[in-house]
Amino acid sequence: MEASWILHDTSHSGNVGSAARAIKTMGFYNLVLVNPRNPNATESEDAIALASGAEDVLKKALIKPDLESACGPFQLVFGLSSRDREFGPPCISIEEACHLAKEALSNNAQCAFLFGTERTGLSNQDFNYCSHRVWIDANPEYPSLNLAQAVMVCAYEMRKTLFNPTSSPKSLNTTPSSLASIDEINAMMEHLTQGLEAIEFLDPQHPKKLMERIRSLFDRTGLQNEEVQLLRGIAKQMILAKDKRFKL
């Protein structure tokens, strides 16, 4: 099992080829494209030329229509961004992310690195499909990397970490294989939203970023499968309580 490398809404096919070359150079092969502007990006002349011998990575690349289908099965998704966010998953360095990824892979959990569009990167909404926000230590006055550069830096750090026998400086709070997947967490959040609306704790007309705050809290904990089911059970009882009130 190895890490996957997800490119979201890529504009230029050449960047797909450059990214494929970058990950193969570091010993990785799992490339995923989410809604690329060119649906045939992996077969384009630009991609093949810039892949420079990594055509096998292009040929086996998966193409997904959205982040839900691309990120949903993973327990850990590291979204790359140099911008601060008011809400969202916990922010860690690329070194910390690679150590978490190494631990996850050694426990048969799935992980991926997610990269946003060339012009704007990942949006706040995109981070609903991430377990962590990851930053690369760059010049604070000019932290901008192009897509292929960011992929190469991350792939290099991941390779270095995998072959480094020293202990990880950062550890997950739970067994990686027991972590809930992104799909499971998002489904739970939708269910919990319905429950909070049912007991009138959440006003859908004036949500006041309540769910974003709750999501940030959960993201910091690293929810396990059993905990997600527990929260869904609570949401179910909230909805049932509302139904009983209407029947009285």
pLDDT tens-digit map of 45-62:
999 999 999 999 999 999
Contact 54, 155 (CB under 8 A): no
> Letter for the amino acid at 186?
N
**In this model, does residue 167 exceed pLDDT 60?**
no
Give the number of other Cβ atoms within 10 Å of residue 142's Cβ: 8
CB contact set of 127 (below 8 Å; sequence gap of 6+): 79, 81, 85, 88, 89, 133
pLDDT value, residue 171: 58
In percent, the amount of the chain with pLDDT more than 70 equals 93
pLDDT value, residue 164: 83
Three-state SS annotation for the chain: CCCEEEEECCCCHHHHHHHHHHHHHCCCCEEEEECCCCCCHHHCHHHHHHHCCCHHHHHHCEEECCHHHHHCCCCEEEEECCCCCCCCCCEEEHHHHHHHHHHHHHCCCCEEEEECECCCECCCHHHHHCCEEEECCCCCCCCCCCHHHHHHHHHHHHHHHHCCCCCCCCCCCCCHHHECCHHHHHHHHHHHHHHHHHCCCCCCCCCCCHHHHHHHHHHHHCCEHHHHHHHHHHHHHHHHHHHHHHHC
Provide the whole-model pTM: 0.89
**pLDDT tens digits for 95-110?**
999 999 999 999 999 9
Most confidently modeled range among 75-79, 85-89, 236-240 = 75-79
Contact 77, 131 (CB under 8 A): yes
pLDDT value, residue 83: 81
Question: For the chain, which domains are there?
Answer: 4-162 (3.40.1280.10), 180-247 (1.10.8.590)
pLDDT value, residue 248: 52
The band of 118, judged by pLDDT with boundaries at 50, 70 and 90, is confident
- CA distances for 83 relative to 132, 242, 243, angstroms: 13, 41, 43
Average confidence score pLDDT of the chain: 91
The band of 198, judged by pLDDT with boundaries at 50, 70 and 90, is very high
